[in-house]
Amino acid sequence: MSVESVFPRLEALLPLVTKPVQYVGGELNAVHKEWDDVAVHWALMYPDAYEVGVPNQGVQILYEVINERDDALAERTYAVWPDLEALMREHGVPQFTVDRHRPLGAFDLVGMSFSTELGYTNMLTALDLAGIPLHAVDRDDTHPVVIAGGHAAFNPEPVARFVDAAVLGDGEQAVLRITDLVRDWKAEGRPGGRDELLLRLARTGGVYVPAFYDVDYLPDGRIQRVVPNRPGVPWRVAKHTVMDLDAWPYPKAPLVPLAESVHERMSVEIFRGCTRGCRFCQAGMITRPVRERSATTVAAMVDNGLEKTGYEEVGLLSLSSADHSEIAVIAKGLADRYEGTETGLSLPSTRVDAFNIELANELTRNGRRSGLTFAPEGGSERMRRVINKQVTEDDLIRTVATAYGNGWRQVKLYFMCGLPTETDDDVLQIAEVARRVIETGRRASGTRDIRCTVSIGGFVPKPHTPFQWAGQLDHETTDARLRLLRDAIRADKQYAKAIGFRYHDGKPGIVEGLLSRGDRRVGGVIEEVWRNGARFDGWSEHFSYDRWMTAARTAFEGGPVDVDWYTTRERDHTEVLPWDHLDSGLDKDWLWEDWQDSLAEVGVEDCRWTPCFDCGVCEQMGTEIQVGPTGVTLLGMPPLPPRGEDLLAAVPAPGTAL
Partner 1 sequence: MARQAPVRDVAPTVQRLRLRYAKRGRLRFTSTRDFQRALERALRRTGVPMAYSQGFNPHPRISYTNAAPTGTASEAEYVELALVKRLDPERLREALDEALPDGLDVLEVVEVRTPDLAARLEASVWTVELPGVGCEEASSAAAAFLGCDRAEVSRLTKSGMRTFDAREPVVRLETREASPGADGTPCAILDLVVRHVTPSVRPDDVLAALRLVADLVPPIPARVTRLAQGPLVDGASDGDPRRAVSDPLAADRD
Are the C-beta atoms of 376 and 389 separated by less than 8 Å?
Answer: yes
Q: How far apart are CA 72 and CA 65, in angstroms?
A: 10
Amino acid at 498: A
Give Cβ neighbours of residue 223 (< 8 Å, ≥ 6 apart): 215, 216, 217, 519, 575, 576, 577, 578
Q: Judged by CB under 8 A, which of 189, 219, 367, 638 binds partner 1? A: 367
Q: Judged by CB under 8 A, which of 9, 252, 263, 308 binds partner 1? A: 308
Q: Judged by CB under 8 A, which of 232, 407, 559, 622 binds partner 1? A: 407
User: Which of these ranges, 167-175, 388-396, 520-528, 646-654, lies near partner 1 under the rule CB under 8 A?
Assistant: 646-654
Nearer to partner 1, 27 or 393 (CB): 27
Nearer to partner 1, 40 or 306 (CB): 306
Q: Judged by CB under 8 A, which of 4, 307, 358, 570 binds partner 1? A: 307
CB of 464 to partner 1, least distance (A): 39
By CB under 8 A, the count of residues binding partner 1 is: 49
Q: How far apart are CA 333 and CA 632, in angstroms?
A: 11
Amino acid at 81: W
Q: How far apart are CA 531 and CA 649, in angstroms?
A: 63
User: Which of these ranges, 8-16, 39-47, 548-556, 606-614, lies near partner 1 under the rule CB under 8 A?
Assistant: 8-16
36 is a contact residue toward partner 1 (CB under 8 A) = no
Q: Judged by CB under 8 A, which of 92, 189, 639, 642 binds partner 1? A: 642
Q: Judged by CB under 8 A, which of 4, 68, 196, 260 binds partner 1? A: 260
Give Cβ neighbours of residue 524 (< 8 Å, ≥ 6 apart): 555, 556
638 is a contact residue toward partner 1 (CB under 8 A) = no
CB of 650 to partner 1, least distance (A): 6
Q: How far apart are CA 645 and CA 647, in angstroms?
A: 5
Are the C-beta atoms of 564 and 549 separated by less than 8 Å?
Answer: no
Please provide the size of the chain in residues: 658
The closest alpha carbon to 249, from 305, 289, 287, belongs to 305
User: Which of these ranges, 20-28, 328-336, 515-523, 550-558, lies near partner 1 under the rule CB under 8 A?
Assistant: 20-28
User: Which of these ranges, 151-159, 194-202, 251-259, 378-386, lies near partner 1 under the rule CB under 8 A?
Assistant: 251-259
Nearer to partner 1, 137 or 657 (CB): 657
Nearer to partner 1, 247 or 649 (CB): 649
Give Cβ neighbours of residue 573 (< 8 Å, ≥ 6 apart): 469, 592
DSSP string, 539-600: STTT--HHHHHHHHHHHHTTSS--HHHHHTPPP-TTPBPTTTTEE-S--HHHHHHHHHHHHT
Nearer to partner 1, 11 or 505 (CB): 11
Q: How far apart are CA 434 and CA 453, in angstroms?
A: 8
Q: In what order do the strands lie in the sheet with 344-346?
A: 266-269, 313-317, 344-346
639 is a contact residue toward partner 1 (CB under 8 A) = no
309 is a contact residue toward partner 1 (CB under 8 A) = yes
Q: How far apart are CA 71 and CA 83, in angstroms?
A: 37
Nearer to partner 1, 231 or 652 (CB): 652
Q: Judged by CB under 8 A, which of 4, 12, 483, 619 binds partner 1? A: 12
CB of 349 to partner 1, least distance (A): 23
Q: How far apart are CA 330 and CA 311, in angstroms?
A: 19
The footprint of partner 1 on residues 77-116 (CB under 8 A) is none
CB of 217 to partner 1, least distance (A): 51
371 is a contact residue toward partner 1 (CB under 8 A) = no
List contacts with partner 1 (CB under 8 A). 7, 11-12, 14-16, 20-21, 23-26, 28, 256, 258-260, 264, 306-312, 342, 366-369, 407, 409, 447, 449, 642-654, 657-658
